[in-house]
């Protein structure tokens, strides 16, 4: 297919000078998938984008060249790793400017905020078929031992404690009692981190990720932690394998994906002793695990989003936006 659309993938400027963090093979897989759907995939940062208004209309230039909403769109997922937090405001405001200037975004600014906060997606009532874990989110600035009554909020020990916005299973701890919890939160307070506390479902907890295309479950992956560890993420030494979508997760995953309204979204569930809980959404997951099939389906969804947008059709509707 002839490339007739520029698809700008906004990356973090903190890593823009280094090789693609996903690796050459995955980067090439994405470029091929984009080309199949008539898109020229280009990696940029917010430093490459200049927007303005001449008193009559908005204009946007990328690396010095003016772009138009009918010929280009942007992938705009916020990166919340610690090294990137200083840039969050620049990214979010750039996303908002692009959207207000009339461009199509794969992830609007508010969706990016929801994606990067462990509690926000759980505050949405998706109906009786979606079970939520009790979750407490709070700033640790000025935290003192015993400063929060977690039992009153439905959380008992052992409890899971982790940063509210990090990914990759990093800095996830199990607190077996108040002393351990106070130690972790006291350390977090040194950098004034926002943390979440949840019930721990125990060793052997499994993590199911359902990849949804245009609101419908497409594939799934099963992640399991290595012995003695908590998080099942591959970056933490866990295992991950593609699977068919579990029958009992198809309906809740579809309910959540349709409500969120993005062309591509991952819906994560935790399983313990045969019971399932909704964990969180991830708008940019599956890059390393999904393979060529999932990548092709994902970029096809992005192209259909842009085509609907260009045709003047509504492309999303969600309570948070």
**What CATH number is attached to the domain comprising 280?**
3.30.470.20
**Is 298 a member of any domain?**
no
Residues 125 and 219 both lie in one domain: yes
- How many Å is the maximal CA-CA distance in the chain? 62
Averaged pLDDT, 269-277 = 91
**Selection from 16-25, 81-90, 180-189, 251-260 with the highest mean pLDDT:** 251-260
Are 282 and 220 in the same domain? yes
pLDDT of 249 strictly over 90:
yes
Give the CA-trace dihedral at 65, 68, 69, 74, to 10 degrees.
Answer: -10
Q: Which residues contact 55 (CB under 8 A, 6 or more apart)?
A: none
**Mean confidence (pLDDT) of the chain:** 85
Q: Is the domain of 121 the same as that of 144?
A: no
Tell me which of 46-55, 88-97, 113-122, 203-212 is least confident.
Answer: 113-122
* pLDDT for position 23: 61
Asked if the model's pLDDT at residue 245 lies above 90, the reply is: yes
Query: Quick one: 123 and 208 in the same domain?
Result: yes
């Amino acid at each position: 297919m002839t490339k007739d659309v520029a698809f700008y993938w906004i990356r973090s400027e903190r890593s823009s000078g280094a090789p693609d963090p996903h690796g050459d093979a995955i980067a090439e897989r994405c470029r091929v998938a984009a080309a199949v759907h008539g898109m020229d995939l280009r990696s940029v940062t917010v430093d490459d984008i200049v927007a303005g208004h001449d008193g009559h209309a908005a204009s946007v230039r990328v690396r010095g060249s003016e772009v138009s909403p009918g010929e280009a769109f942007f992938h705009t997922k916020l990166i919340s790793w610690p090294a990137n937090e200083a840039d969050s405001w620049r990214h979010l405001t750039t996303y908002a400017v692009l959207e207000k200037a009339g461009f199509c975004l794969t992830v609007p600014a508010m969706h990016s905020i929801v994606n990067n906060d462990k509690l926000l997606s759980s505050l949405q009532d998706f109906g009786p078929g979606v079970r939520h874990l009790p979750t407490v989110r709070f700033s640790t600035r000025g935290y003192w031992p015993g400063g929060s009554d977690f039992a009153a909020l439905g959380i008992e020990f052992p409890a899971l404690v982790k940063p509210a916005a990090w990914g990759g299973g990093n800095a996830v701890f199990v607190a077996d009692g108040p002393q351990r919890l106070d130690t972790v939160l006291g350390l977090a307070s040194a950098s004034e981190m926002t943390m979440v506390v949840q019930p721990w479902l125990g060793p052997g907890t499994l993590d199911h990720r359902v990849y949804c295309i245009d609101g419908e479950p497409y594939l799934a992956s099963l992640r399991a932690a290595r012995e003695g560890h908590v998080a099942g993420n591959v970056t933490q030494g866990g295992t991950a394998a593609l699977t068919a979508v579990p029958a009992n997760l198809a309906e809740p995953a579809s309910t959540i994906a349709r409500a969120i309204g993005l062309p591509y979204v991952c819906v994560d569930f935790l399983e313990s002793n045969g019971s399932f809980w909704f964990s969180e959404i991830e708008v940019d997951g599956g890059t390393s695990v999904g393979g060529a099939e999932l990548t092709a389906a994902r970029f096809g969804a992005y192209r259909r989003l842009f085509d609907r947008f260009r045709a003047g059709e509504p492309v999303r509707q969600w309570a948070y936006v």
